[in-house]
Amino acid sequence: MVLTYALAAAIFGIVAVTAAVTAAEYPNLPDRVPMHFALDGTPTTYAPRPMIWLVVVIQFLSMAIIAGTASVAAQGRHPTALGVGVFGVCIAAALAQGQFGIISAAKSPGQCLDVKRFLLPIGALAVLAILSLSTL
């Protein structure tokens, strides 16, 4: 049960860092930021600068759902609590990686995403998330 709360704290920490980085970088972003990218890293969709907060909102909502689910499972001493907690950390970290990639691309001259630097951690987190759910 303590481990489940530690995982919930890790999720909260990841969301807090993502929000802090977004707030710190927000004034340095252009009026329109890239929000979606082609496989080669070129932006395909732009949005007004305030939309950069969308990923943080999604992180927060995901955190609430996953932490709540893990907490309920932990109270019942259900073995899925650990898997849900690890899954939550992976999702929060993947969203953070995505947000940092968007911010980096928005600040770069061509506004392109470094696909290799972006996809490798996302892929590793996806594998870990899937493995964590195998405990269900």
Domain-wise residue ranges, the chain = 2-133
| Letter string b/e over residues 32-68, b meaning 16 or more CB atoms within 10 A of that residue's CB | ebbbebeeebebeebeeeeebeebbeebbebbeebbe
- Indicate yes or no: pTM above 0.85: no
pLDDT at 15: 93
pLDDT at 103: 94
pLDDT at 25: 97
pLDDT at 40: 87
pLDDT at 126: 79
Q: At a CB cut-off of 8 Å and minimum separation 6, what does 96 contact?
A: 14, 15, 17, 18, 59
pLDDT at 52: 95
- H/E stretch holding 82 reads helix 80-107
pLDDT at 18: 96
Along the chain (136 residues), what's the average pLDDT of each consecutive run of 10 residues? 72 93 96 91 93 93 77 65 75 88 90 81 80 66
